[in-house]
Chain A
Amino acid sequence: MQKSRIIKDKTAQAIMFGLTIVSILMVVVMFVGLYLKSAPVLEDRSLWGLLTSSEWKPMKGEFGFSPFVAGTLWVTFVAIFLALPISLLTAVFLTEYAKSYVKKFVFPALDILAALPSVIYGVWGVLVIVPWISKHIAPHFMDFSTGYTVLAAGIVLGVMVIPLLVSLFIEVFSSVPLELRESSLALGATRWQTTKKVLFRRTYPGIIAATVLAISRAMGETIAVLMVCGCVIGIPNGFLDPCYPIPALIANNYGEMLSMPMYEAALMFAALILFLVVLVFNLISRIVLYRLEKRLGNS
């Protein structure tokens, strides 16, 4: 009787250990899978050549990724540039200022923003943002624009990362002990001074880490960006040019790539780049956030 219980316990342990290891190994398996698939194009070309060349002619075997890399960077930059101040102010407001009845309205609103699928943001972008840019923003700078631009993709993406940024910032800010704020307030500092001199100074590694996480999220976003970015191959020269980020490239071409092994390898290489960037960004920022949590939690 006793023995069977212990055997049950040990069996369960073994199975659970197995499941845990397998799911951790997913990271490795994913990397190896994508790497093997993109090997043909990596053997054929140098890594540097692939990333810097701007010739994209799959039919002739030319795979230059620089327009797509540039598109991704542009869109991500615009998105973070727009979302960061709004998210930071919202998070400070919610942790330092807001009364509880205000929070009762704001948190569900952020919940909804976080829950909406990216295709819905895409629909919103196509129906609201794109016409708005075409009619009201672009005419100030150029004769005509369809509205499918870096700016449109950046705005849509910015809205999508706001809930993530706010929830990360709130987590970071709530790790600061109340006593620190109280001592600053007791010395006669205003709330804003306390926020700047105590909160921000104490948590700036966390703020940076949260931003890096949001950047990696923004880089991989596909459908919403694909719907509003314009999908014209070329390095954008300004925020009113169309662009073609990496995820859009993969999503748009998945049907045709089967017929040509080299083309498939190139697209898998694109997925590999995304995976690696996300992996590195996530690891760095998570380590910073864990450390911060520990340090501030103990003090």
Chain B
Amino acid sequence: MKITSKKKVREIVAKSFMWMAMFVVFGLVISVIWTVFSKGVKAMSWDMVSKLPGGGFYIGKEGGFLNAIVGSLYIVGASTALGLIVSIPVVFFLNVYLQRDSKLAYAARMAFDVLFGVPSIVYGAFGFTIMIYFGLRTSLLGGIIVITLLIIPIFIRTMDEATRNLPRDILDASFALGATRWETLKVVLRQIAPGIATATLLSVGRAIGDAASVMFTAGYTDSIPTSLSQPAATLPLAVFFQLQSPIPEVVDRAYAAALVLTVIVLILSIAGRFITNRFSKNKV
């Protein structure tokens, strides 16, 4: 009897600790979101998202952060497109052309896991050295290159996971009909389409939020870049730089930029979960 009760007490203690951990996690989510929204909504106005900063982003009291919104869109759009172009062939090669127990595939997956873990500041420093080597200054092009490098591992890892779960029979069925491996790409693409969508959303989320890598490479500016060789502002850096300003109006711009960034990321995250839930049901 005594042993049983001790066992039960421990069970209850363990369980209550778990609930506590759960509440901590929820509390943290709510605290972060609440902080950003309560500050951001107050600072938000139409001018913020439709005007360039007047009189310098650090000291000027006028205007908004359109430069950062456009800069982020340029960088994220271009690098997502480039990332997809590189990653889809790699994922396809790993899963269709290579055998399941291939050494090369193992090494490749390992390499992408490592690249995924490399901090973005190291990407930034590395990108910076490459740019100097080619004689580039901080520019839109530099930002795009570094962000592309940064998100390729995310693309590949996420899509690879979706493709690995694909039943081997589908490939065999396609081969049995006389299709080459290249032609089988169509079948695989259709099957992993939701996986590609989720991977894209994840990568866009990471690309738009990363500050450390673009700091070195894209730089920061008050205007909207008109060519690839001009520096470009980005949303996370708009938050980071303007938050340190002594002028309240500028700090408000940082809060509003943080709100915009958070809303974008939240939408991406919700869309990602929606796609996963929606399309994983009717997959073969």
Contacts and interface: CB of A to CB of B under 8 A. Distances in A.
A15 interface: yes
B211 A192 contact: no
Contact of A223 (B31, B240, B262): B240
B254 A20 contact: no
Contacts of A147: none
Contacts of B15: 97, 192
Contact of B28 (A16, A89, A113, A117): A113
A83 to B, nearest CB: 10
Contacts of A80: none
A97 to B, nearest CB: 6
Given A124-B32, A247-B119, A223 B21 contact: no
A109 B209 CA distance: 18
Nearest to B234: A119
Most buried by B among A120, A279, A283: A120
B7 A282 contact: no
A110 B26 CA distance: 9
Contacts of B48: none
Given A20-B108, A124-B35, A108 B215 contact: no
A287 to B, nearest CB: 8
A19 B156 CA distance: 12
B47 to A, nearest CB: 21
B261 interface: yes
A254 B90 contact: no
Interface of A: 5-6, 8-9, 12-13, 15-17, 19-20, 23-24, 26-27, 30, 33-34, 37, 85-87, 89-90, 92-93, 97, 102, 105-124, 126-128, 159, 162, 190-193, 195, 213, 216-217, 219-223, 227, 247, 250-251, 254, 267-268, 271, 274-275, 278-279, 281-283, 286-287
Given A109-B26, A192-B14, A286-B113, A9 B32 contact: no
Interface of B: 7-8, 10-11, 14-15, 17-22, 24-26, 28-29, 31-33, 35-36, 39, 86, 89-90, 92-94, 97, 104, 107-108, 110-115, 117-122, 124-126, 128-130, 149, 152, 156, 180-183, 185, 205, 208-212, 215-216, 236-237, 239-240, 243, 254-255, 258, 261-262, 265-266, 268-270, 272-273
A115 B265 contact: yes
16 contacts: A33-B126, A34-B129, A86-B25, A106-B25, A118-B211, A119-B258, A120-B209, A120-B262, A123-B35, A124-B36, A190-B10, A217-B119, A222-B119, A222-B212, A254-B128, A286-B114
B117 A8 contact: no
B118 A220 contact: yes
A85 to B, nearest CB: 7
B29 A113 contact: yes
A274 B258 contact: no
Contacts of A24: 107-108, 111-112
A89 B11 contact: no
A87 B24 CA distance: 10
